[in-house]
Structure 1
Amino acid sequence: MPIHTIWLADDDADDCMLFGDAIAELGAGPSVVCVGNGVELMDKLQHVSHVPDVLFLDVNMPVKDGLTCLAEIKGDERFKDLPIVIWSTSAQPEAVRQAFELGARLFMKKPYNFNKLTSLLEGVLQLNLHAVVSQGDFLVGK
């Protein structure tokens, strides 16, 4: 299934900018919509006419964290099939376990290098995220 629209929920404006730049670097690809926190994300999802093809969700956000959003999204029948990639600076085993239990398709540790970010995102976009088993798929950026 081709990916046309990616949403990123991340409170770090620099990470949003780098993410968008990395997607743009890959060529004529999906459009990126960035939201700054979990409350904004949940509000936008409630009023969307077209569900994004994939959602990248930061774990550590103020107001409403990513794992809380993940649980709410997967509890809503309209979004049960939405592929969600957890995107975090930390890969604490408990957070990884919880993310997969809540229905994340992948867990991606944010790389600290633009080229590695671009490479990781290219790999994610080549996956069939609807076919990825949500137990144990883990991407690490070094």
Structure 2
Amino acid sequence: MKQIPRGRITNPHITELMEDEVFVFGSNLQGMHYGGAARIACRWGAVMGQGVGLQGQTYAIPTMSGSIASIVSFVDEFIRFATSNPEIHFLVTEIGCGIAGYTPAEIAPLFGEAVTIENISLPESFWEVILDES
């Protein structure tokens, strides 16, 4: 198995953010941030009623729409956004692997393109799946 790039693992217990960091969390389209990482995201500017995109020092990716296929376009949109904002370090949490009920094996492959994008950190569980598949 390949090695995880140094400095690219998201801490599973984020309690503070640096000025140039953004907390990436799973949300629902309605932007009701009541549980899991979404509730924590409210500390850094997640907006109730906004279920997608940049909000303060957070970025919402909807994961509660019913299928993996419905998440793909939101992850792709996030990766494009991160690529066009290289000055920001994006800390992706285990989106979809809590309340939404998916596993890292189901969600991690959606982030395969992020492997080469240096300003995106992923959870260790996602790295393990992605690197195991490559």
| TM-score grouping bracket, smaller chain normalisation | 0.3 to 0.5
Higher share of residues assigned helix: 1
TM-score of the aligned structures, taking structure 1 as reference length: 0.41
